[in-house]
Structure 1
Amino acid sequence: MLASNLVLGAVEGVQFNGGDIIFQLLVFIVLLALLKKFAWGPLMGIMTTREEHIANEINAAENSRLEAKKILEEQRNLLKEARKDAQGLIENARKQGDIQRDEIIVLARSEAERIKEAAKLEIDQQKEKAVAAIREQVASLSVLIASKVIEKELSAEDQDKLINEYIHEAGEKQ
C-alpha cells in the first residue's frame, strides 16, 4: 500500500505545464531547422559528391575493362596475323627450297650429260686413233707379207699403191 500511495503521490506531484511543452517543441523545431540547414544540407552534399565519385569510378573501371577487352582482342588478332605471316614465310621458304633443289638437279643432270658426251667424243677419237694405228700396222704387215710372197722388190710408187688398196679393203671389212 505504501507503494501505491507513493505512485499516487508522485502522479499528484507532477504537474502538466503546457508552456514548457510548447517551448520545448519550438526549440526542437528550431533545432531541426538548424540541423537541416547546417548539418543535413552539407551532409547530403557530401553524400551526393561521394555518390557521384563512386559512379565515376565505376564508369572509369567499366571503360577500362572495355578498353582492356578491346586491346586484348586486337592483340589476339595481331597474333593470328603474325602466325599467318610466319606460316606464309615458312611456306615460301619451302617452295624456294624446292625450286632450288629442282634447279640443282637439272644442272647436275645437264653436267652429267655434258661429261657423258665429252667421254663419248673422246672414246670416238681414241677409237679413230686406234683404227688408224691398226691400219698402219696392217699396211706394214701386208707390205712385208707381199714382199716375201712376191720376193721381188717393189718401187716406192707401187708400195704406196698397194698400201692404199689394203687400207681401203681393211676399212670396208670393218
Structure 2
Amino acid sequence: MIKVDLSLLWTIINLVVFYLLLKKFLFKPVMGIMEKREQMIADGLKNASDRQEEAETLKKEYESALSGAKEESVKIVENARVEAKRQSDEILADADRRADATIERARKTIETERKQALDGVETQIAGLAMQAARKIVDEETRKQGNQAIYDQFLESVGDAHDGKDE
C-alpha cells in the first residue's frame, strides 16, 4: 500500500499549480507566437508563390513579344547590359567610398584609443615612480631622522606631478 503523507500531497499540489502557471503564462503565449510566426511564413510563401507566378506570366509575355522582333530584342538586351554595368559600377564605387570611410573611422578610433592607453600608462608609471620615490625617501628620512627633507621632497615631487596632469 502506498503511504500518502503531507509532503507528497504538497508536492502534487505544487506540481499541479506549476503546470497551470506554465500553461497560462508560457504555453499559451509561446503557442500564440508560434501560430503568428507560422502564419507569417505561410503569407511569405504565398507572396513568393504569387510573385513567381507573376514572373512566369511576365516571362511568357516577354518571350512572345520578343520572338517576332530580333533587332529590338538585341537593343533591349544591350541596353539592359549597359544599365546593369552602370548600376554595378555605381554600387562598387559606393561600396568603395563606404569602405574607405569605415577604414578611416577605424584608424581614427585606433589612434584615439592608442593615445588614451599611452596616457593611462604614463599616469600609472608616474604614480609608481611617486610611490617608489616616496618609499626611498621615507626610508632615508627614517635613517636620517630628518623630517624636513622628506616634506620638502614630497612638495617638490607633488608640484611636478600636478604640473604633468594638467
TM-score class normalised by the smaller sequence = 0.3 to 0.5
TM-score by length of 2: 0.48
TM-score by length of 1: 0.46
Larger RCO (alpha carbons 8 Å, 6+ apart): 1
